[in-house]
């Protein structure tokens, strides 16, 4: 059996006409379309609500939306399973999620990772072929679209629940594949926390863990004979033109006595994606291999992430300081971040660290902020 896994799919202005017409050949190109359809199973992440009504929720970041007519292209991709556990599935409110769910149900496309409440959103999916059971589980980090016991949304990663879900799924299946929507955008390595989480997911029974959401190809690690992919890039998401978004990989899984993993390099085209060839393909795979070797070095993951954090902390400090758009630009471009750096004393920074790091303070802070927003702030 052959399975192919794609990451984030969002119809955009660049290709919405192709999705409306269901023109998969133009989206994928002939060679990639043949590979895609030759697989026994096709799984990818639908990272956008399909709805004709704009009802954006209050959140940090863009509110994605795609018209219901784009279901034609999604359907023509012939997915075996779609994952909805991501940070955008609730972008257009409950109606956006329900519109998407109804379209998928009408099109006979199974999906997991989101639902009318936490119980429904956390359900796994089991595919049985040729006497082999493959269990799929998907979850997302907490970013505005998470389900609760009484409200709809995506299935969150919760160490007190998720790991038990995976262990229980493994008891029913020969193989378990976990799609984890998390990690830092446009960062090609795992954070120390993400690495720890994924290794624990493996120890609870996962044979393959795929981290999506980062919009770039990351690195790969073996743990207890299982494979962890820290970022595979996008599937079809033609929005940004840079070194991170322009290349990605599809994950091909050959299911036999073990899971054999192969990476298929792809590049973004004007309206879709194409299989990478020549030097581009070689560079993609060489880069993946190099980073995968780097993260095995003692202390590398911690050091690399500290460097990344140092580079980006000023953006976070400006947000915490309440800087608006123009003040942020003035500080960044003309003052080299001196305004935000001098805004807090050492003791004030220690207080912020404590509020975020300490579980009791963090829980109170989050609930208090939610109350302020709900109260009309």
Do 169 and 33 touch, CB atoms closer than 8 A?
Answer: no
Residue 377 predicted with pLDDT over 70: no
Q: Are strands 273-275 and 259-268 parallel, antiparallel or unpaired?
A: antiparallel
Give tens-digit pLDDT for 28-43. 999 999 999 999 999 9
Backbone angles phi, psi at 54, to 5 degrees: -85, 115
How many whole angstroms separate alpha carbon 225 and alpha carbon 271?
A: 38
How many whole angstroms separate alpha carbon 91 and alpha carbon 56?
A: 6
Selection from 103, 106, 108 nearest residue 89 by Cα: 103
Residue 98 predicted with pLDDT over 90: yes
Selection from 297, 265, 47, 316 nearest residue 189 by Cα: 297
Read off the pLDDT band of 340 (50, 70, 90): confident
How many whole angstroms separate alpha carbon 54 and alpha carbon 71?
A: 17
Residue 274 predicted with pLDDT over 70: yes
Mutual angle of helices 300-320 and 325-333, in 10-degree steps:
130
How many whole angstroms separate alpha carbon 15 and alpha carbon 160?
A: 41
Q: What is the mean pLDDT of residues 2-8?
A: 98
Reduced to 3 states, what is the DSSP secondary structure of residue 182? coil
Q: What is the 3-state secondary structure (H, E, C) of 150-177?
A: CCCEECECCCCCHHHHHHHHHCCCCEEE
Give tens-digit pLDDT for 158-185. 999 999 999 999 999 999 999 999 999 9
CB count within 10 Å of CB 133 equals: 14
Read off the pLDDT band of 87 (50, 70, 90): very high
Distance (Å) of CA 375 to CA 24, 243, 370:
46, 42, 8
How many whole angstroms separate alpha carbon 359 and alpha carbon 377?
A: 25
| Residue position matching structure tokens 């033109």 | 241
Query: 377 or 24: whose pLDDT is higher?
Result: 24
Selection from 87, 70, 81, 95 nearest residue 11 by Cα: 70
Q: What is the mean pLDDT of residues 275-289?
A: 98
pTM: 0.95
Residue 376 predicted with pLDDT over 80: no
Q: What is the mean pLDDT of residues 238-253?
A: 97
Exposed / middle / buried, residue 31 (Cβ in 10 Å: 0-12, 13-18, 19+)? exposed
Distance (Å) of CA 134 to CA 39, 156, 255:
15, 21, 9
The span from the first CA to the last CA of the chain, in angstroms, equals: 53
Which residues face 263 on adjacent strands? 251
Do 305 and 189 touch, CB atoms closer than 8 A?
Answer: yes
Please report how many Cα atoms fall inside a 13 Å half-sphere around the Cα of residue 179, on the Cβ side.
32
Tell me the domains of the chain and their CATH numbers. 2-294 (3.60.21.10), 300-374 (no CATH)
**Averaged pLDDT score across all residues of the chain:** 96
Structure tokens at 26: 């133009």
Residue 341 predicted with pLDDT over 90: no
Distance (Å) of CA 11 to CA 72, 104, 345:
11, 15, 45
How many whole angstroms separate alpha carbon 20 and alpha carbon 12?
A: 11
Maximum pairwise Cα distance, the chain: 64
How many whole angstroms separate alpha carbon 124 and alpha carbon 135?
A: 7
Q: In this structure, what DSSP letter does residue 263 have?
A: E
How many whole angstroms separate alpha carbon 147 and alpha carbon 369?
A: 18
Q: In the prediction, which pLDDT does 121 show?
A: 98
Specify the length of the chain in residues.
377
Residue 276 predicted with pLDDT over 70: yes
Which residues face 156 on adjacent strands? 140
Structure tokens at 92: 């257009």
Report angle CA 121, 2, 252 to the nearest 5 degrees. Answer: 80
Do 26 and 55 touch, CB atoms closer than 8 A?
Answer: no
């Amino acid at each position: 059996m052959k399975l192919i896994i794609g990451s984030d799919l969002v119809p955009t202005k660049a290709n919405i006409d192709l999705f409306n017409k269901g023109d998969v050949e133009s989206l994928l190109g002939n060679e990639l379309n043949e590979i895609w359809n030759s697989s026994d199973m096709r799984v990818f992440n639908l990272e956008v609500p399909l709805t004709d009504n704009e009802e954006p929720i209050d959140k940090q970041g863009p509110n994605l939306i795609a018209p219901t007519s784009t279901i034609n292209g999604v359907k023509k991709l012939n997915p075996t399973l779609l994952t909805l556990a991501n940070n955008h599935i609730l972008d257009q409110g409950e109606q956006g999620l329900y519109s998407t769910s109804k379209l998928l149900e009408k099109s006979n496309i199974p999906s997991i990772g989101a639902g009318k409440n936490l119980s429904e959103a956390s359900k796994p999916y089991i595919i049985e072929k040729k006497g082999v059971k493959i269990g799929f589980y998907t979850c997302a980090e907490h970013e505005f679209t998470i389900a609760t016991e009484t409200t709809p949304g995506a299935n969150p990663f919760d160490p007190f629940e998720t790991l038990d879900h995976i262990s229980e799924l493994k008891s029913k299946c020969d193989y378990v594949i976990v799609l984890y929507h998390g990690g830092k955008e446009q960062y090609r390595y795992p954070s120390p926390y993400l690495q720890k989480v994924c290794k624990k997911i493996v120890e609870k029974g996962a044979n393959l863990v795929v981290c999506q959401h980062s919009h770039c190809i990351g690195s790969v690690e073996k743990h207890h004979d299982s494979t962890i992919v820290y970022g595979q890039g996008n599937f079809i998401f033609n929005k940004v033109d840079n070194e991170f978004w322009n290349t990605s990989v599809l994950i091909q899984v050959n299911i036999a006595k073990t899971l054999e993993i192969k990476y298929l390099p792809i590049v973004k085209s004007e309206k879709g994606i194409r299989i990478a060839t020549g030097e581009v393909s070689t560079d993609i795979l060489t880069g993946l291999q190099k980073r995968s070797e780097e993260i095995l070095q003692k202390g590398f993951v911690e050091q690399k992430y500290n460097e990344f954090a140092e580079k980006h902390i000023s953006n976070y400090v400006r947000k915490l300081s309440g800087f608006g758009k123009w003040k942020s630009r003035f500080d960044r471009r003309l003052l080299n971040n001196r305004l935000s750096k001098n805004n807090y004393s050492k003791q004030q920074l220690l207080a912020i660290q404590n509020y975020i790091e300490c579980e009791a303070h963090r829980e109170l802070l989050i609930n208090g902020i939610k109350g302020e927003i709900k109260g009309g702030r």
